[in-house]
Chain A
Amino acid sequence: MSDRTPAGAPQPGSEAFEAELRDEIRRELETHGSGSGGPEIVELRDVWLSFGDHEVLRGVSLGVARGGTLCILGGSGVGKSTILRLMLRLLLPDRGEVLIEGRDISAVSRPEALALRERMGMVFQGSALFDSLNVFDNVAFPLYEHTTLPEDEIRERVEEVLSFVDLDPAVVLPLLPSALSGGMRKRVAIARAIAHRPPILLFDEPTSGLDPITTRRIDELILKLRRELHVCVVVVTHDVRSASRIATETALLKDGEIIFSGTPEEMHATEDRYVRAFRG
């Protein structure tokens, strides 16, 4: 019932596994360099947001191009997840623009915003799988909602995305989310997010609460998403090590402002006191 490990592959946690992962990441970086290129398909321009008297975001500007992975780092409660909510128009900014594929999602009509949302897949911190639905229905949910695919094609697609996230469809399809481990829930959430093949993926603390081995597996999966599906990924996290593995761009948020942005290498090289303190 647990996650599948291909026969002959090194076991997670072993030396061989670590070496293979390091090689893969190095190859990844060599192949794609900083990864992104071309126009930015997710972009925030001078975004301000307050909740009552509390200013959450103060002139935040950031962006990521197709094929890139932007990791937004910061301590707890600095407004990282708020940025994702703005991208999905679950919140509206007080000022500024939130551009998705060049269109300001906060300024378009409701139907247009819904159409833009369909261009994105979101993986929530707690996975947010529907408790009352089994894995099949959870993953198939966006397909039933937004496509007219016949039943057998939907089943095929669901099995395909579950295999992509290294879960055995035959085992997990009938299970309810309550029967899954934390790592498996996260994978099912990723499968649900990519089921309708969106070009943009948003992750809210994807490795929060997971053990180091599962964390690496999820990181590996995010790299695989970028490599094989060429999606644009935005990850909100406070895990610097994880960000260093997966990001092509990083942005560090403090007191509602971006105090650093650059590649993971630049982040590790910077002498800024707060950045150094944050990366530990």
Chain B
Amino acid sequence: MRSNAFWRSGEHTSIPERAPKIVPDGSARRSAARLARDAVLRMAFAVEAYCRLLVRVSRACLSQPFYRGDLVQQMDTIGVASIFIVMLTGLFTGMVLALQSAVEMERFGATVYIGRLVGASTIRELGPVLTALIVTGRAGAGMAAALGAMRVTEQVDALRTMGVDPIRKLVVPRFLAALVMLPVVTIIGDAVAILGGLLIAVLTLDFTAQLYINSVWDTLAQSGFVLRVIPIDLIQGLVKPFTFGGIIALTSCFHGLRAEGGTEGVGRATTRAVVTSSILILAADYFLTQILLAMFQW
């Protein structure tokens, strides 16, 4: 303890005569290296845990007990409850696409191809990706928050103490519901987007509805059919949302079940779930596009 005389002297505010010299001894560099190593290790452990969760969920999907009631409830929460917002997004996206492409195509006298452009870009890319991002923000965030809250309030532990596997009870129904409902919601979103394009084509570009619909159908038919009836574009447009559904559910549940630190931790887990899902969706979209193009067109 310093004496009162010391504080009165003002010594504590003065600059020492000989300031200690900071000698670069490499410790800062070493601690930065340690931080980087820790970050890489944390990332590696998280990836390992994510993969283990995927394996456990896949196994649990194929064995008993299976919670059918929870599956139906989650199909409603993830799919049915998202339909309105997906339709709204699809409608405006289709309308904007038609408007923007009309401006560009008019220069080349190619406005008759608007239906093709709207149809192809919606079914192959925009529909699946936008729907997945919307569902991530709506249902994915909800999943992470719900599971995070269950974890920090010991409800997940309560399940374990009652001999119930939280993966089967909480993750599997969400995972399967997302796998099934994302393609369904995407198809609805695609249809509404094409309808939005139709509205613009008919109301502002003086197209007939028949001409626009034929144009959309032409683009679907052009890429060919599987089993003579299913357009390849549609297959591509369904493989993606199926994969995205799995990514959304798994990532959201993963972060939710790792939440810790009370309500603040739940908030952090939710943010991480949405950000990670969105990045994984966009990355997966690129790789899926490469694979699907290689399979069906080259």
Contact = CB atoms under 8 A, between A and B. Distances in A.
Nearest to A202: B161
B157 A90 contact: yes
B163 interface: yes
B149 A131 contact: yes
A117 B154 contact: no
B213 to A, nearest CB: 44
Contacts, number: 43
A10 interface: no
Interface residues of A, number: 20
A110 to B, nearest CB: 10
A102 B155 CA distance: 28
A125 B155 CA distance: 11
Most buried by A among B150, B154, B162: B162
B88 interface: no
Interface in B121-171: 149-150, 153-155, 157-158, 160-164
A141 B162 contact: yes
Contact of B161 (A117, A125, A130): A117
A90 B161 contact: yes
Given A126-B153, A128-B155, 4 more contacts: A128-B157, A130-B158, A131-B153, A145-B163
Among B149, B150, B160, B163, find the residue whose CB has the most chain A CB atoms closer than 10 A. Answer: B163
Contacts of A125: 154
B162 A128 contact: no
A146 interface: yes
A253 B161 CA distance: 24
A57 interface: no
Contacts of B164: 145
B160 A90 contact: yes
Grouping DSSP codes into helix (H, G, I), strand (E, B) and loop, the A interface class, with mixed when no group exceeds half, is mixed
A122 B155 contact: no
A142 interface: yes
A142 B162 contact: yes
B163 A122 contact: no
Contacts of B153: 126, 128, 131
Contacts of B163: 114-115, 117-118, 145-146
A164 interface: no
B155 A131 contact: yes
B154 A128 contact: yes
A200 to B, nearest CB: 11
The 9 closest A-B pairs by CB, nearest first: A128-B158, A128-B154, A122-B161, A114-B163, A124-B154, A142-B162, A117-B163, A128-B155, A88-B161
A243 B14 CA distance: 57
A126 B263 CA distance: 14
A120 interface: yes
Contacts of A126: 153-154
A130 B158 CA distance: 9
Contacts of B158: 122, 124, 128, 130
A151 to B, nearest CB: 14
B59 to A, nearest CB: 13
Contacts of B160: 88, 90, 117
A210 to B, nearest CB: 17
A142 B164 CA distance: 9
Contacts of A130: 150, 155, 158
Nearest to A195: B162
